[in-house]
Amino acid sequence: MGSNVQNVAVIFYFSCILALIMPANAAGLSECPGIFDPNSWHNCIGVYEHEDAFHYYGEFQYGRYHGHGTSSNIAGDKYIGQWKKGQMDGDGTMWFWHGEVWEGSWRNGSWVDGTKYNKDEIPADIRLLFEKR
């Protein structure tokens, strides 16, 4: 039961962070209607939770993660940044479960360029962005 409460707290926290850092163009997007439907989730903001514990909160276009969003998975990896056609694409930051952080440019789901930090080198602003409360 405690794990569920912690998961809800983490989801709430990331939702709040995303609301603070969401780009201006997203402010005009409406909430996605009902439960996930790739045919109706277009130009909206929603929450998608997959049965394998993958979680995404952010912008959708044509039923795909597209725009600014936050994701997490069961292993503990977390990503905040840009998405395109369902993949991490653009500027973003990934905090891996083992403590390493990759900040920079992503293309088609892969990290392209930027800075990699070991867990003892992570800047305070990145720690604050991902900090659990």
- Residue 24 pLDDT: 42
- Residue 132 pLDDT: 60
3-state helix, strand, coil in the chain (%, to 5): 25, 40, 35
- Residue 97 pLDDT: 94
pLDDT for 1-51, tens place per residue?
Answer: 455 445 434 444 444 444 444 444 455 899 999 999 999 999 999 999 998
Sheet of 64-72: strand order equals: 30-31, 44-49, 55-61, 64-72, 78-84, 87-95, 101-107, 110-117
- Give the percent of the chain with pLDDT over 70: 78
- Residue 2 pLDDT: 52
- DSSP 8-state secondary structure symbol assigned to residue 20: H
Which residue, 22, 59, 18, is CA-closest to 42? 59
The 3-state DSSP class for residue 8 equals helix
In this structure, how many other beta carbons lie within 10 angstroms of the beta carbon of residue 132? 9
- Residue 52 pLDDT: 85
What is the mean pLDDT of the segment spanning 68-92? 97
pTM assigned to the model: 0.77
